[in-house]
Amino acid sequence: DAGVIQSPRHEVTEMGQEVTLRCKPISGHNSLFWYRQTMMRGLELLIYFNNNVPIDDSGMPEDRFSAKMPNASFSTLKIQPSEPRDSAVYFCASNKIQGVRANEKLFFGSGTQLSVL
């Protein structure tokens, strides 16, 4: 299996531009998580989906952030408009177990390094 695939690996954009991050979970997995990692705040859960349905988006920083999962094999995280403070590494993770035990063995992608100038 190719694992969780994220694209792009690196994104450099200017403040005010729209940014879209993409994630392809492992086939057969039905839980998908978006995390953000910064030096100051560490790893933060932004949102997670079960069976393509958003379960908890309380970690999404503000209305500029939105996430979708139109089908079981694809998810996007969009920032519009982007700001310099959004610069971070964004990770996608997936698992095939629902509920608390979904965290039992999360499979992480390699992340997208976002730089907003």
Q: Give the C-alpha separation, 96 to 26, whole Å.
A: 9
Shortest distance (Å) from residue 112 CB to other proteins? 11
C-beta neighbour count of 26 within 10 angstroms: 18
Locus of tokens 């976002």: 114
Shortest distance (Å) from residue 70 CB to other proteins? 22
| Candidate residues 14, 18, 56, 83; the one interacting with other proteins per rule CB under 8 A | 56
Q: Give the C-alpha separation, 116 to 88, whole Å.
A: 9
Does residue 43 interact with other proteins by CB under 8 A?
yes
| Candidate residues 25, 26, 34, 48; the one interacting with other proteins per rule CB under 8 A | 48
How far is residue 107 CA from its own chain's centroid?
13
Shortest distance (Å) from residue 91 CB to other proteins? 6
| Candidate residues 2, 42, 53, 62; the one interacting with other proteins per rule CB under 8 A | 42
